[in-house]
């Protein structure tokens, strides 16, 4: 059931809803701005209304994937489906394994799987991105904070609000999220550093 949950999660994550929403808005997110079909590029290309809509739908996809995984494969299924959904968003089979940066859908996965960690991650990424002036660096810092949170959680044995209660599974989920997202956001961070070094 865990493999099935991961597969269903991947399919849910790979549905190109942000591209469809952009086209309904009259813009092509994959050929405009940065070319990334995510909320940040939607904001740059078409403003906050489209960005918020894209973000809400991506979060909903992550939440739905975790809920389906939980229903068919218990807590392990929830983690598998959540990681599958993030993978489907970032390495999308419909776009030759290109895709988004995975932050919106990761937020939805955290809300469904580990809601206590969501406000921590959201606060860190906002503050870190503002302080560094780079969403890529902000995302990398947030990944580090998520790993630290998972390690502390695994040792403390605290209770989750809903979703996954097993702290080891949450640690596995945090490691998986980092492994899926780190490459794209590392490239963004390096590009930002290079642009500052060579204005």
Contact between 137 and 192 (Cβ < 8 Å): yes
Q: How many CB atoms lie within 10 A of CB 196?
A: 10
Q: In the structure encoding, which two tokens stand for residue 155, read together?
A: 């040792």
**Cα separation values, 2 from 9, 49, 68, 75, Å:** 10, 37, 11, 9
Supply the angle between the helices 103-113 and 167-197 in degrees, to the nearest 10.
160
**pLDDT digit string (tens) for 70-122?**
999 999 999 999 999 999 999 999 888 888 889 999 999 999 999 999 999 99
User: Whole-angstrom distance between the N-terminal and C-terminal Cα of the chain?
Assistant: 52
Using alpha carbons, select from 63, 48, 23, 192 the residue that is nearest to residue 37: 23
Using alpha carbons, select from 49, 48, 57 the residue that is nearest to residue 20: 57
**pLDDT digit string (tens) for 21-79?**
989 998 988 888 777 888 888 888 888 999 999 999 999 999 999 999 999 999 999 99
């Amino acid at each position: 059931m865990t493999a099935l949950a991961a597969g269903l999660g991947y399919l849910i994550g790979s549905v190109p809803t942000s591209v469809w929403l952009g086209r309904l808005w009259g813009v092509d997110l994959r050929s405009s701005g940065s070319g990334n079909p995510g909320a940040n590029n939607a904001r740059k290309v078409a403003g906050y209304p489209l960005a918020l809509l894209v973000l809400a739908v991506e979060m909903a996809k992550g939440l739905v994937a975790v809920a389906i995984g939980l229903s068919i494969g218990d807590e392990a299924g929830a983690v598998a489906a959540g990681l599958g959904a993030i993978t489907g968003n970032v390495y999308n089979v419909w776009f030759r394994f290109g895709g988004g940066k995975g932050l919106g859908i990761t937020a939805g996965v955290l809300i469904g799987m580990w809601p206590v960690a969501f406000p921590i991650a959201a606060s860190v990424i906002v503050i870190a991105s503002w302080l560094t002036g780079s969403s890529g660096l902000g995302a990398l810092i947030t990944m580090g904070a998520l790993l630290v949170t998972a390690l502390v959680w695994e040792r403390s044995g605290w209770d989750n609000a809903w979703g996954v209660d097993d702290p080891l599974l949450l640690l596995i989920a945090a490691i998986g999220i980092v492994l899926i997202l780190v490459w794209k956001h590392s490239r963004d961070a390096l590009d930002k550093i290079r642009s500052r070094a060579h204005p």
